Structure 1
Amino acid sequence: MASKCRRLSGPIIRELLDSVESVLFDCDGVIWRGDEAVTGAADVINLLKKNGKRVFFLTNNSTKTRRMYVDKLRKLGFNASEEDVFGTAFCSAVYLKSEAKLNGKVYLIGSNAMKQELQNVGIPQVGVGPDPITGVQIDWANIPLDPEVKAVVVGFDEHFNYMKLNRALQYLSNPECLFVGTNTDTRLPLEGGKAVPGTGCLLKAVETAAQRQALVIGKPSKFMFDCVARQYGLDPAKTLMVGDRLDTDILLGSNCGLKTLLTLTGVSTAADAEAHRCSGCPLRLGMVPDYIVESIAELLPALQA
C-alpha cells in the first residue's frame, strides 16, 4: 500500500496520463461545485479530449437526464455530448431494459428526469409527483395496485412521504417485483458546510419497510462502470477514475480495477484517505486512492506541454 495516496506532481502526472486511454470523471465536487465550474476544469477536460483521451462523466445524481447534463456541461465550457454522460437515471433505465428485460411498468419514487429516461427506452412508469395521504391504516394496506407494475425503482424524490413508502412496500410484497435503487449516498453536501438528506436515506427506508435489499445501480456498484465499458470497450487497466468521494468514486475504481485519483475540491479529505490506508480493514483499503490532487487543474501543465 506504500504507493497509494501519492501526491501527483510534475513528471508523475505525464506518466499517469500516458498510461491511460480513458478518464472517468465524477461531476459535483470534481469538475463543478453547484453551478460554478472548478477553475481550470473545462480546460483539463477539453485538452484531454484534444490529446485523444476518451472522457466520460459518471454521476450518482438521478435528478437530471443526459440531455440536461450536456446542457450544463456546455454552458460551463466543457466539450461534451450525450454519449459521454452516464448518470443513474440513464443507467437504471439501461439496466431495466437490457439486463432485467423488464416487461411491464415501474413504480417510480424519483424525478421527472428518471421518468424521461425510462420513457426513452420504452418503459412506462407510475408514481412521479406528490402522493397525498388519505384514509386510515387498513386503507393504506389495501390500496389498489397497478397489476402491470413489475419493478420498484427508488431515486431522489423531493415528494417522498409515508404513502410512497407504503405503496413501495405493497408492490415489493410480491417477491417477483424487481427492486432497484439509483444510489446509496446518504447526504448531499452543499456550499458552506451545509448538507441535505440524499437518496440513500429514502432507499434505506424502503428497504426497511419491504424487508428486502435493492440492487443498486450507482457508484460504487460495478454496473455503473460496466455500462460505459460494454458500450465503448474500455480496458480497466488503462482507465482512470477521478472523484471527490472515497466511498463512491474511489471504491468504484477499486472494485473495477481502475487507476484512481482523489481531488480535494469536494467531500473527502487527504486525512480521510490516509486513515483508510492505515486501517488494515479490507473494505476501507478499497477506498484508498492511488493519487491525490488539490484540484484537477493540477493536470493542466502536463496537458499543455
Structure 2
Amino acid sequence: MSGSKCVRLTGALVKQVLDSVDSVLFDCDGVIWRGDQAVPGAAQVINLLKEKGKKVFFVTNNSSKTRKMYVDKMTTLGFHVKEEEVFGTAYCSAVYLKTVCKLQGKVYLIGSNAMQQELEAVGIQPLGMGPDHISGKQADWANVPLDPEVKAVVVGFDEHFSYMKLNRAMQYLSQEGCLFVGTNRDTRLPLEGGKAVPGTGCLLQAVETAAQHRAQTVGKPNNFMFDCVASQFGVNPDHCLMVGDRLDTDIMLGSNCGLKTLLTLTGVSTVADAEDHQKSGSAERQGMVPDYYVESIADLLPALQG
C-alpha cells in the first residue's frame, strides 16, 4: 500500500512500536477473542505486555456486560485483568451521565441488565428494563404515563426493544431539557461464520427518527471513551497504541485522539477496506486508515518473548 500508513507490523518494527508506547488499548470481540474463544496467543500477548510494565486497557462498544462480567470472561480465557482496566459502554454511559451531564434525576433506559447495574452503581435510577407490551389505541400511546423524575433517555442494546419502548422514549424526549444518550452507533453485530444481527445503532436510529433529535454517543469512535481512560490513569496519547478490528470505530477512535493505531485482521475490517479509505481522497475516511496492521495480535509475541 502506498504512503506511510497501513504498514504491516513485522520484524524489528514490532519492538520499535511497542517501545514507543507505555499504554495499549484493546478492543475485545474480534481482537482478543471471537465469540467464546480467545484468539490464539492473545492472552500471552496481554499478560506479557503487563509483565513488561505496559498499561493495558480494554475498550468495547458492547453494552450488554458490566465490567465485572468482562473480567469473569477474560479470566476464564486466561487473561490477567482487573475491573478498573475495562471500559465498556455500559460503564462509560453511567460515568458520562454522572460526571459530564451531572444528571439529577432518573433515566428511561432502553438497554440491558448490565446497563441497569452500572447506572445504579453511580447512584442513577433507571426505569424501563424488560419487555414493554402494547395495549389500547394510538391516543393511549401518545398519553402513556411518564415519570416526572426522568431527565434522560439512554439507548443501548436491548433484546426487548419494541414499538412501545420507542414510543415511550419519544414521549420523554418531547419534554424540554430531557437528555438523549446512546451507547454506540454500531449497526450490525458480527457473529461467527459470517452471520450478523442488528446492533445498537439500529435501535438508536429508530429513537432518533421518532424524536427528531440526535443523541450524544459515548462509545467509539467518540473521544469520550479514551477520555474516560486517560482521566483515570493519566494516559498520554503520544505514547498510546489503539488495537482494533474495525476501521470505523477502533481505528477512528485512535485517529480522533491522536493515538498510534493497529488493525488486526481477526475481526471485521480488511486491508482492502483500509486501502479504499486511503485512496478515497476524503479527509474523514483518512481517519479510518490504521498506522499498522497484523494478521493477529499473536504477531506481537516474538518481540515480547525476545
Shared fold by TM > 0.5? yes
What SS does structure 2 have at the residue aligned with 1:129? coil
Is 1:166 the counterpart of 2:167? The answer is yes
Look up the SS of the partner of 2:29 in the other structure.
Answer: coil
Aligned letter for 2:12? P
- 1:230 maps onto 2:260 in alignment: no
**1:157 equivalent in structure 2:** 158
2:266 equivalent in structure 1: 265
Q: Quick one: which amino acid aligns to residue 91 of structure 1?
A: C
Aligned to 1:176: 177
1:52 aligns with 2:26: no
**What is the Cα deviation at residue 144 of structure 1?**
0.8
Equivalent residue of 1:2, what SS?
Answer: coil
| Corresponding residue number in structure 1 for 2:145 | 144
CA RMSD of aligned residues (A): 0.6
The secondary structure found in structure 1 opposite 2:117 is helix
Deviation at 1:174, TM superposition (A): 1.3
Separation in 1, partners of 2:46, 2:199: 28
Looking at structure 2, the residues matched to 300 and 174 of structure 1 have their Cα atoms a distance apart, in angstroms, of: 54
Instruction: Please list, as runs of the form range in 1=range in 2, the aligned pairs for 1:256-295 lying within 5 A after superposition.
Output: 256-295=257-296
Deviations 1:202-246 (A, max 9, x none): 000000000000000000000000000011111001000000000
Structure 1 CA distance for aligned equivalents of residues 5 and 137 of structure 2: 56
Structure 2 stretches lacking a partner, 5+ long = none
User: Pairwise mapping of residues 35-46 of structure 1 onto structure 2 (< 5 A)?
Assistant: 35-46=36-47
Q: Count residues in correspondence.
A: 305
2:107 maps to: 106
Q: Does 1:210 align with 2:211?
A: yes
Amino acid at match of 1:250: I
Quote the Cα distance in structure 2 between the aligned partners of 1:137 and 1:292: 53
Structure-1 residue corresponding to 2:62:
61
Cα offset, 1:137, TM superposition? 0.4
Q: CA deviation at 1:175?
A: 2.9
TM-score using structure 2 length: 0.99
Per the alignment, residue 248 of structure 1 pairs with 249
AA paired with 1:100? C
Question: Does 2:87 match 1:86?
Answer: yes
Residue 24 of structure 2 aligns to a residue in which SS?
strand
What's 1:299 paired with? 300
SS at match of 1:145: coil
Residue by residue over 1:134-170, the C-alpha shift from the partner in whole angstroms, topping out at 9 and shown as x without a partner, is 0010000001100000000000000000000000000
Query: When the two structures are superposed, what TM-score results if normalisation uses the length of structure 1?
Result: 0.99
- In the TM superposition, structure 1's runs of 4+ consecutive aligned residues that sit over 4 Å from their partners are none
